[in-house]
Amino acid sequence: MVWIGLYGSISPLSANGYPFTPVATPAIGGVQFDLAYGLNGNVKVYSFLAHSHAATRFSGDLTAFYKYLEQNFSANGFTSVLVLQDVQAGSEIFTGNKAKLTTTGYMISAS
């Protein structure tokens, strides 16, 4: 998962509790991210969160996140045989109401 905004006291799925402690802090696409790792059942989940918790802009190649995990977490089973199956964008409301995502552009291309 890639979170470019994080508001309130929400935390990603994490093996090291709440609030999470980053397992790494990579810079990708000009944004510094905190990386969280956890399990959803037996599925390994990696979440990149913008370090400032409010990156207002991101433009980059999603394969940079994949390559980072492949280079740094292969011992944890992240290998080149894995494939990206789905891309989504939006907001995820945990509590409250009236959350709004506004964007002037969104583009995904696959090659």
Which tens digits make up the pLDDT trace of 34-92? 999 999 999 999 999 988 877 777 778 888 999 999 999 999 888 888 888 888 877 77
Provide the residue count of the chain.
Answer: 111
Q: What is the total count of domains within the chain?
A: 1
Predicted TM-score (pTM) of this structure: 0.84
* pLDDT of 102: 78
Q: What is the mean pLDDT of residues 86-100?
A: 76
Higher pLDDT, 69 or 97: 69
Question: Can you give the residue range of the structural domain that contains 22?
Answer: 1-111
Q: What is the mean pLDDT of residues 79-107?
A: 78
Q: Which domain CATH number covers 59? A: 2.60.120.180
Q: CA 26, CA 50: separation in Å to the nearest integer?
A: 10
Instruction: Find residue 54's DSSP bridge partners.
Output: 5
Q: Where are the alpha helices (DSSP H) in the chain?
A: 63-72
pLDDT band (50, 70, 90) for residue 29: confident
